[in-house]
Homo-oligomer: A and B are copies of this chain.
Amino acid sequence: MPAPLLDRRDLKFMLYEVFDVESSLTRERYSDHNRETIDAALDVAETIAEKYFLPFRQKIDTNQPTFDGEKVQMIPEIKQALDAVIEAGLASPGADYEMGGMQLPPLATSAVYAYLNAAGSTTMGYIGLTSANANLIEAHGTQAQKAKWVEPQRSGRFAGTMAMSEPGAGSSLADLTTTAVPRDDGTYQITGNKIWISGGDHELSENIVHLVLARVKGAPRGVKGISLFIVPKFLVNDDGSLGARNDVQLAGLFHKMGGRGQTSTALNFGEKGGAIGYLVGEENRGLMYMFHMMNEARIMVGTMAASTALCGYQYSLDYARERPQGRLPSAKDPLAPPVNIIEHADVKRMLLLQKAYAEGAYALCLMGTQLADDEHTAPTEEERAAAHELLDFLTPIIKTWPSEYGPKANYHAIQVLGGSGYVNEHPVEMMYRDNRLNPIHEGTTGIQSLDLLARKVPQNNLAGYRACLRAIGESIAQAKQVEELSVYAYELEAAVATVNQTTEFLLAAMGEQDIDLVLANSVKYLDMFGHVVIAWMWLRQGLVASAALAGQPHDADVAFYRGKLQAMRYFFRYELPEIGAWSTLLMNLDDTCLGMQNDWF
């Protein structure tokens, strides 16, 4: 029996026990849903993943898309798989009924996508970006724009992209140079070059809707002069039929180390006379609108990284259970039959590490998903505002921690397999390559760490920061009441105190010291905070597991909950203590890196 893509028991644990998706089903939007409809959606997703993605996973990886000068060529299995997702109603399962969605709660949607992502790797990126593109237009577009661009994306006829980076403007969007010139008919003429555009061209859909950042002629320089435009591959007539080809040309495809399920493109806008663009919202507020999509994409990236880690964990776990090799150090008889490698302490360590990273990261992404839902559908304005505050604060961590530790999990999946992990008979080397993109796109780890320390912590008079610490404190208070958890509760309390002390020190230093110095080790700050948040995710899982065990569940569940407690213990014993060294560096305002001179390298 092949390894499962994901552990369904764990998904149910996350959805129903930890994040209690059922409690949101009382909200009007989700009133048609219940545990049965959610389980059914998971079943469909698992079936499609196993039938349409898994058999072609390697073929997709070893057959990169090519550009024949006119069109993008890719193996037909990609379109077949995406069509299967669309036909099953999973292109936008969370969307409004009127847009063709099924108003599935976001937590359930995340689990649905975890299956598809685990098998479909990066191919699912087409659908994720399309959905996020539609969400942005739904939030900020005119009624006419929504009618023209949202519904076809929800139904899967059109695909969507986000077009931000340029050859000279990657992390620094302030420097982008793509221009937009108003035309008499209210549209704009767009001219410029964009790179790293995922899904920027292909033949998978009738049309591609690019959301393009550009400067209107005469706009202020920097980020205050950026506007957002809808620039389709084909113009669309008012009756919804396709019109003329717009002047958006594929300049080339990038050949990536992984993530080969999705094209990464360089696009030229307006090289043959002018690309037509439609302004979204007001001029010069484009970056604010784009953050709608970017924030969603950041949770998506974290979730993708976590899903890939979960999948690699399951695969290497299955391998470790089947592969006999070696004996334990205590074996009296050197000629005794070999044990399966899962018996070796270091293999257990590599599996526990993966479990702790992957399930901890996925829990964080689900919490982010839940907050993103609450932000819109929680019953009271107060709850909605609180969810927004906390999510906004946590976004750089949700994006980054899974992206940094997901590849580390996959590193260990390879190591469990040994030489077999390094060859493409097994998928773990592909996952390792796929996952390496995640610390880069949608804001690198360095960018996210500056966002956290320099913006998200101080903003609104530390409101988000304090809300986060309060939420952690609530779990700690609960855990202190449980005998087997209280030691972890106190350890997490000490870790939070370390974070808080470090934060207060840094905030004070921001007013007194060179800001470059105070921010110099921001990545270590994010790492420290991230570890504490993941320890919190484990304590929350531990609370549920501990309570469940007290209820005397059946044997398989006893084993499952014991595993949760052991993974929590792993994280607290092997990982959380690392924050001490990072905090020291931060509290010392260590300037080793900042002080390094160019010519000393």
B419–A172 CB distance below 8 A: no
Tell me the chain A residues, 544-601 only, with Cβ under 8 Å from chain B: 559-560, 562-563, 566, 569-570, 573-574, 577-578, 580-581, 584-585, 590, 592-601
Instruction: Tell me which of A236-244, A422-430, A469-477 binds B.
Output: A422-430
Q: How far is the CB of A334 from chain B (nearest CB, A)?
A: 5
Complex Cα gap A577–B223 (Å): 40
* Sample of 14 A–B contacts (CB below 8 Å): A165-B419, A171-B418, A175-B338, A221-B335, A255-B423, A255-B424, A257-B429, A345-B516, A345-B521, A346-B449, A352-B593, A414-B436, A573-B590, A574-B585
Complex CA–CA separation, A437 to B422 (angstroms): 7
**Residue A274 is within 8 A (CB to CB) of chain B in the complex:** no
Residues of B within 8 A of A351 (CB): 596, 601
Cα A339 to Cα B450 with chains together (Å): 17
Stretch of A73-81, A146-154, A292-300, A323-331 at the chain-chain interface: A323-331
**B523 near A346: Cβ-Cβ < 8 Å:** yes
Q: How far is the CA of A356 from the CA of B247 in the complex (A)?
A: 49
A196 at the interface (CB under 8 A from B): yes
Closest to A524 in B: B574
With A592-B566, A596-B566 already in contact, the answer to whether A415 and B444 are too (CB < 8 A) is yes
Using an 8 Å CB-CB cutoff, how does the interface string of A313-353 with B read, 1 for contact, 0 for none?
Answer: 00001000100111111100011001000111111110110
Complex Cα–Cα for A170 and B420 (A): 10
User: Which A residues between 240 and 281 are near B, CB-CB below 8 angstroms?
Assistant: 254-259, 264
- A494 nearest CB across to chain B (Å): 14
Cα A581 to Cα B172 with chains together (Å): 37
Q: A170-B418, A574-B592 are in contact. List 6 more A-B contacts (CB 8 A).
A: A196-B419, A221-B335, A257-B424, A329-B454, A330-B516, A343-B598
Which residues of chain B are near A227, meaning CB under 8 Å?
A: none
With a cutoff of 8 Å between Cβ atoms, the chain B residues found around residue A324 in the complex are: 168
What's the minimum C-beta distance from A24 to chain B, rounded to whole angstroms? Answer: 30
List the interface of chain A (C-beta within 8 A of B): 165, 168-172, 174-175, 195-196, 221-223, 254-259, 264, 317, 321, 324-330, 334-335, 338, 342-349, 351-352, 355, 407, 411, 414-415, 418-419, 421-425, 429, 432-433, 436-437, 439-441, 444-446, 449-450, 454, 514-516, 519-523, 559-560, 562-563, 566, 569-570, 573-574, 577-578, 580-581, 584-585, 590, 592-601
For A422, what are the chain B residues with a Cβ–Cβ distance below 8 Å? 256-259, 436-437, 440
Q: Which residue of B lies closest to A568 (CB)?
A: B592
Counting from the closest, the 10 A-B pairs by CB-CB distance are A563-B600, A345-B520, A577-B581, A349-B593, A257-B429, A346-B446, A172-B326, A559-B599, A254-B423, A345-B594
Cross-chain contact B346 with A522 (CB below 8 angstroms): yes
Residue of B nearest to A195 (CB): B419
Q: How far is B566's CA from A425's CA once the two chains are assembled, in angstroms?
A: 44
B residues in contact with A327, CB < 8 Å: 172
- Report whether B446 and A436 are in contact in the complex, using a CB–CB cutoff of 8 Å: no
Q: Do A257 and B600 form a contact, CB below 8 Å, given A165-B419, A440-B418, A590-B573?
A: no
Closest B residue by C-beta to A259: B422
Q: How far is the CA of A338 from the CA of B521 in the complex (A)?
A: 21
On chain B, the residues within 8 Å of A223 by CB distance are 334
**Which of A195, A222, A514, A593 has the largest number of chain B CB atoms within 10 A?**
A593
CB neighbours (8 Å) of A585 from chain B are 573-574
Q: Known contacts being A423-B256, A578-B578, A601-B563, is A446 close to B347, with CB within 8 Å?
A: yes
A415 contacts which chain B residues (CB < 8 A)? 439-440, 444-446
Known: A330-B515, A346-B449, A566-B600. A436 touches B440 (CB 8 A): no
| A419 neighbours in B (Cβ, 8 Å) | 165, 170, 195-196, 440-441
A577→B255 CA distance, assembly (Å): 39
- The chain B residue with its CB closest to the CB of A340 is B598
**Most B Cβ at <10 Å: residue of A346, A411, A450, A516:** A346
* Bound complex: CA A264 to CA B573 (Å): 39
CB distance from A492 to the nearest CB of B (A): 16
Closest to A570 in B: B592
Q: Of B325, B414, B423, which one neighbours A171 at CB under 8 angstroms?
A: B325
Q: Which residue of B lies closest to A514 (CB)?
A: B330
- Chain B residues whose C-beta falls within 8 Å of the C-beta of A338 in the assembled complex: 172, 175
Residues of B within 8 A of A523 (CB): 346, 349
